[in-house]
Amino acid sequence: MNPRTPRALSIISRVTAIVCLLFAIASTVHGTDIPLDQRRSGYLDLGHDSKAMQDDDTINPATLWVQDGEELWNQKVGAASRACADCHQDATVSMKGVAARYPTFSVARNGPVNLEQRINLCRGEHQQAPPLAYESRELLALSAYVGRQSRGMAIAPPDDSRLVPFIEAGRKLFNRRIGQIDMSCAQCHDDNWGKKLAGSLIPQGQPTGYPIYRLEWQSLGSLQRRLRNCMSGLRAEAYEYGAPENVNLELFLMWRARGLQLETPAVRP
Amino acid sequence: MARQLINVPAKVKRGQVFEIKTLISHIMETGFRFTTTGDKIPRDIVTTFSCSYNGEEIFRADLYPAISANPFLDFFTVATESGTLDFKWAGDNGFSETASAKIVVE
Amino acid sequence: MGRTKPVATRRAVMLGGLAGSLAATIRLEPAQATPERMRAAIRNVVGEASVRKGRVDLEVPPLVENGNTVSLAVSVDSPMTTTDYVKTIHVFNEKNPQPNVISVHLGPRAGRAKFSTRFRLADSQIVTAIAEMSDGTFWSASADVIVTLAACVEGI
């Protein structure tokens, strides 16, 4: 048809309006991404004492785990009787920037792996040692020690096209309503960050400092532990540690936090 | 496994008041919590902490279940002469740990 | 078949009512610090001496991020000489399961009557620090702290 006839124009404008409306609905259902320049780390909302706890290694309880991690880094383990240091030498040099770009794509797994999984893959492949249990003191210590070497660096997810479908899967999970409370991550952390929920400030949920010393746990814990806590808070059945859903979520969250500074190991309420 | 975090200045002047920071890895189980099956979790806390400077006690604390896990204690003392600061923690179930730090006084 | 009359005599109703009101007054509470228990714990330390407000500075956030780990700093105005120093600093609370938080023993070698720690608060409440001086006097300070519970209660 001739697009310039009044009838054609009216059809085009109506279709455009419907498409715009659909986009608007889609974006409200999806939650709108926080504009890049408005993203902020939970550190900024900490009280004075908690900020001091994070900033000073001598009073940050997470330092206990970092020190353990350094010890484990140099310990020969497994049938191969090999230490991380035997391949990677000085972690303060070789591990600089590593945690800032995880999760990465693993050919062996044909999908993304987070830092804890990468550590266990190394243990199996190169040390012939059994994997460390999720949330075990040893695994947390190693990921805290490795993560500490990226402190102050910008979170830099790899520019890897193989990760794109997994980031999208993570985004879908972030926007999906779950549990008896029937809410999605996005509804709190994209749409209502900065407001209060039962007296507590809703953060954006940027994973800028994992593993964190969480005041609630009075212990160090991983991002997956935190995600599982959120899910059970919504009265949903949380995905198991290491489940692909958790890794995809972690991957999406680190992508969402790209450019923000890594603070590992951070202190959070 | 790292059990304690001790921080004292490397060097101090005689007569100067300096800060000592201590942190120990401990769950500080209050004894007021219950398992999901309703059983009480028994108390397991650090009950005393003391610090000696060249053998003489300069600080002591009695801790109660209200002290958070990984007990942190930060206190002060006057620099007298160079030597050793000895730290001791004791608690439930025979818990006992020590640590020490050298102090140089000029 | 005859009908049985319900035993709703006046006496039964009266006794039932009395039992109900007694049950309401005898509340069975778990062991719990209360302002009264805190006062008793303080009396345990202070005896009959009077406690004066002042010289003690209690630093605690007015609104805590998490009741499990709350920063606390107590300092006392004292020259800390061999003849004039702080002997002990006691910290109490009024709503945790029990009233004591910590007791810190100092002396002239401390140089400064100040210490910091991290403690737990079960609810919004008043925290009190009492310093015992070498001259036998007691001084105190209190702080009102608001504690909000974690918004999303975790099960795992």
- Partners of C119 on chain B (C-beta within 8 Å) are 66-68
C138 in a structural domain: yes
User: Reduced to 3 states, what is the DSSP secondary structure of residue C39?
Assistant: helix
Residue C86, pLDDT above cutoff 70: yes
Instruction: Write the CATH number for B77.
Output: 2.60.40.10
Q: Which residues contact C32 (CB under 8 A, 6 or more apart)?
A: C95, C97
Average pLDDT over residues A69-84: 97
User: A58–B7: do the CB atoms touch at under 8 Å?
Assistant: yes
B58-89 pLDDT per residue, tens? 999 999 999 999 999 999 999 999 999 999 99
Q: Which residues contact B66 (CB under 8 A, 6 or more apart)?
A: B30, C93, C96, C98, C100, C101, C102, C119, C120, C121
CA distance C121 to chain A (A): 12
pLDDT of residue C15: 55
Q: Which residues contact C85 (CB under 8 A, 6 or more apart)?
A: C78, C79, C106, C107, C108, C110, C113, C133, C134
CA distance B5 to chain A (A): 7
Instruction: Write the CATH number for C48.
Output: 2.60.40.2470
> Which helix or strand (DSSP H or E) is residue A14 part of?
helix A6-30
What is the residue extent of each domain of chain A? 34-55+154-268, 62-148
Alpha carbon separation from A116 to A135, A149, A174, C98 (Å, rounded): 9, 15, 21, 40
What CATH superfamily is the domain A62-148? Cytochrome c-like domain (1.10.760.10)
CA distance B93 to chain C (A): 20
Write the DSSP string, C77-106.
-----SSS-EEEEEEEESSSSSSEEEEEE-
- Partners of C68 on chain B (C-beta within 8 Å) are 68-69
Q: CA A67, CA A94: separation in Å to the nearest integer? A: 17
Would you state the structure tokens that stand for residue A67, as one six-digit string? 């020190």
User: C155–A50: do the CB atoms touch at under 8 Å?
Assistant: no
C3 in a structural domain: no
Q: CA A193, CA A203: separation in Å to the nearest integer? A: 5
B89-99 pLDDT per residue, tens? 999 999 999 99
C87 in a structural domain: yes
B8-45 pLDDT per residue, tens? 999 999 999 999 999 999 999 999 888 889 899 999 99
User: C65–A229: do the CB atoms touch at under 8 Å?
Assistant: no
C17 in a structural domain: no
Q: Which residues contact A113 (CB under 8 A, 6 or more apart)?
A: A102, A103, A104, A105, A106, A121, A247
Chain A with chain B: Cβ pairs closer than 8 A: 37
Write out the E strands in chain C.
51-53, 56-59, 63-64, 70-76, 86-93, 100-105, 114-119, 125-133, 138-147
Structural domain that includes position C74: 35-147
User: A71–B2: do the CB atoms touch at under 8 Å?
Assistant: yes
Q: Which residues contact A40 (CB under 8 A, 6 or more apart)?
A: A204, A206
Structural domain that includes position B74: 4-33+41-105
pLDDT of residue B36: 86
Average pLDDT over residues A29-56: 89
C110-151 pLDDT per residue, tens? 999 999 999 999 889 999 999 999 999 999 999 999 987 655
Chain A partners (3+ C-beta pairs within 8 A): B, C
* A87 counts as catalytic: no
The total domain count for chain C is 1
Average pLDDT over residues A161-166: 98
C26-69 pLDDT per residue, tens? 444 445 668 888 999 999 999 999 999 999 999 999 888 899 99
Report the CATH number of the A34-55+154-268 domain.
1.10.760.10
The total domain count for chain B is 1
Residue A27, pLDDT above cutoff 80: no
Write down the pTM of the prediction.
0.86
A88-137 pLDDT per residue, tens? 999 999 999 999 999 999 999 999 999 999 999 999 999 999 999 999 99
Residue A24: band (very low, low, confident or very high) from pLDDT cuts 50, 70, 90: very low
Residue C23, pLDDT above cutoff 90: no
